[in-house]
A and B are shown apart, each in its own frame.
Chain A
Amino acid sequence: MYSEKVMDHFQHPRNVGEIENASGVGTVGNAKCGDIMRMYLDIDDNGIIRDCKFKTFGCGAAVATSSMATELVMGKTIEEALKVTNQAVMEALDGLPPVKVHCSLLAEEAIHAALWDYAEKHGITIEGLKKPKSDISEGEEEEDY
């Protein structure tokens, strides 16, 4: 059901992990629906994305789109990173099954959320960037066994 590229990025995800003191961190998605993506960006003084890492809770497509999204924004300027749309992520993965298209939307949102966090931390405005909807952890209670 998945393309070879999706399988490759799922089985060998690029840039998994955290960045300590990241310039921007964005978390999107909802555990209730089964997908959460967290994107870490390290942005230098010239506004270039020097490093990008992710963590994802979700299906194969969610992991693969996160992995691909990190590759697509790495080394880019903020303006260029904003142009990494869900469509671009999907195309780079040779497509996704229709039921999984929402995963690529999540990847786009995760980049935007991380950029938003960066902008807030630095007191700047990024043209064309809207405040992301972040609904993680709303009403989620820790369960103990």
Chain B
Amino acid sequence: MEKRIVYLDNAATTKVRPEVVETMIPFFTENYGNASAIYSVGAKAKEALTDARAKVADLIGANTDEIYFTAGGSEADNWALKATAELLKDKGKHIITSKIEHHAILHTCEYLEKNGFEVTYLDVDEDGIVSPEAVEKAIRPDTILVSIMFANNEIGTIEPIKEIGEVVHKHGIYFHTDAVQAFGQVHINVDEMNIDMLSASGHKLYGPKGVGMLYIRKGVKIKSFVHGGAQERKRRAGTENIPGIAGFGKACEIAKATLDERIKKESELRDYLIGRLENEIPYTKINGSRTHRLPNNVNACFRFIEGESMLIMLDGKGICGSSGSACTSGSLDPSHVLLAIGLPHEIAHGSLRLTLSYETTKEEIDYTVDELKKIIETLRAMSPLYEDFVKKQNK
């Protein structure tokens, strides 16, 4: 019998939709020409580029000429931060971000710090929310950029982007948001939400890997990050990844058409999953905001156990999830996000993130919770922390 797979790690990456794959194939096999060429094999590629750009722009209420394709979300984040710093270094050298950003932002900020910039890393509350007031307080005369993620990749908390953008704009500063997790999962409008730059990635919304984009509001004059040919209006050189871009465009088109229906279905399933975890597994804590939360994100800590062993046992049952434990992060510290929301180390080590897709079923959730209950019981029976806890309770 083939092993059953329940894929609940859609915040890590997603399965490419069949329609997206179909859209991509002709650009490998027939219309493989360079989009800069004159002949028709290239013209088809050029058309696809224009078409995809319109679809990506449409998803966030942007103009087509404000979308710049990149090789992914990390490149877009690097570009936004480094190029803004480069552009405005004579005006000031202060950048504001948060403690719970993705490493593509945090490590870029550390790099900028080594190069003479100063970065303020804002605290978050216990739900992981960055307050617009805290942003305003941190603004200085030499602040040149504020970068706050749209939604957190680990705990799913959605930030008050519109309000933060308002504050930032009041002070005449550029506002960037890393929207990799939120793009295509919740409603985004760059004008209404006061966003100047926005990073997104194709593979988180059932599109291909290796393609993403940076939205740059017209008038924000950041320079090219990759120098070379005149692609992307001279702002991002390199022969365009046409199959990837065409697939990304298709994924955005479907994301827009199915957005409301997915939000409804996934958030219902999410709440059902959260409810079962809370009601049926003792000593469980749900991480992240209950109300301002990505529709597909569940993150919980189970006390007295460690995340990696939980993941291996889940994998044994064909269930794919992720954890913020030290063992899975490759360092001795658990996830910086879980620490930033105030969890003690030993509890943060026992975290599990399950992220749903449009295909996830209630039956899959039930199977996962049923297996998880047994796994947690096994691991707790093996845990000296649980032993101590029980002895203390019985005293």
Q: Is the CB of A55 within 8 A of B382?
A: yes
Chain A residues contacting B389 (CB-CB under 8 Å) are 142
Interface status of B312 (Cβ within 8 A of chain A): yes
Q: Which bucket holds chain A's interface residue count?
A: 20 to 34
Contact check, A32 vs B346: say whether CB atoms are below 8 A apart: yes
Contact A57 B385 (CB under 8 A): yes
B325: Cβ under 8 A from any A Cβ: yes
A10 near B312: Cβ-Cβ < 8 Å: yes
A124 in the interface (beta carbon within 8 A): no
Taking the closest CB of chain A, its distance from the CB of B374, in whole angstroms, is 13
Query: Is A143 in contact with B308, judged by CB distance below 8 angstroms?
Result: no
CA distance A61 to B308 in the complex (A): 9
Residue of A nearest to B305 (CB): A57
Are A143 and B344 in contact (CB-based, < 8 A)?
Answer: yes
A34 neighbours in B (Cβ, 8 Å):
306, 325-327, 332, 334, 345-346, 349
Q: Given A10-B312, A34-B332: A63 and B346 within 8 A (CB)?
A: no
Q: Does B318 contact A (CB under 8 A)?
A: no
Asked if A60 and B312 sit within 8 Å, CB to CB, the answer is: yes
Indicate if the CB atoms of A16 and B309 lie closer than 8 Å: no
Partner of A57, one of B283, B306, B316, B344: B306
B125 at the interface (CB under 8 A from A): no
Quote the shortest CB–CB distance from A27 to chain B (angstroms): 6
| Most chain B beta-carbon neighbours within 10 Å: one of A33, A57, A58, A143 | A57
Q: Report B-chain residues with C-beta under 8 Å of the C-beta of A38.
A: 384, 387
A145 touches B283 (CB 8 A): yes
Smallest Cβ-Cβ distance to B286: which chain A residue: A145
In angstroms, Cα B311 to Cα A59, docked, is: 9
Given contacts A34-B332, A59-B309, A145-B283, whether A16 and B382 have CB atoms under 8 Å apart is yes
Chain B's interface size range is: 20 to 34
The contact string, 1 if C-beta is below 8 Å from chain B, for chain A 7-48, is 100110100101000000001000111111110000000000
Q: How many Å lie between the Cα of A63 and that of B327 in the bound state?
A: 13
Contacts of A99 in B (CB 8 A): 330
Chain B residues with Cβ below 8 Å from A59 are: 306-309, 325, 327
Chain A residues near B308 (CB, 8 Å)? 59-60
Q: Do B346 and A60 have beta carbons less than 8 Å apart?
A: no
Q: Are A56 and B325 closer than 8 Å at their CB atoms?
A: no
Q: Is the CB of A141 closer than 8 A to any CB of chain B?
A: yes
User: Contact between A58 and B309 (Cβ–Cβ < 8 Å)?
Assistant: yes
B390 nearest CB across to chain A (Å): 11
1/0 contact trace for A88-125 toward B, CB 8 Å?
00000000000110000000000000000000000000
User: What is the CB-to-nearest-CB distance from B143 to chain A, in angstroms, rounded to a whole number?
Assistant: 35
Q: Determine whether the beta carbon of A31 is less than 8 Å from that of B309.
A: no
Task: Please name all residues of chain A whose beta carbon is closer than 8 Å to the beta carbon of B316 when the two chains form the complex.
Answer: 11
In the complex, chain B residues whose CB is within 8 Å of the CB of A127: none
Min C-beta distance of A71 to chain B, whole Å:
16
Q: Give 13 A-B contacts (CB < 8 Å), ordered by A residue.
A: A11-B312, A31-B349, A34-B327, A37-B384, A38-B387, A55-B383, A57-B304, A57-B383, A57-B385, A60-B309, A63-B309, A143-B347, A145-B285
Residue positions of A touching B, CB distance < 8 A: 7, 10-11, 13, 16, 18, 27, 31-38, 55-63, 99-100, 137, 140-143, 145
Taking A38-B387, A145-B284 as given, write out 6 further A-B residue pairs in contact, using a Cβ cutoff of 8 Å, ordered by the A residue number: A34-B306, A37-B384, A56-B384, A57-B386, A59-B308, A63-B382
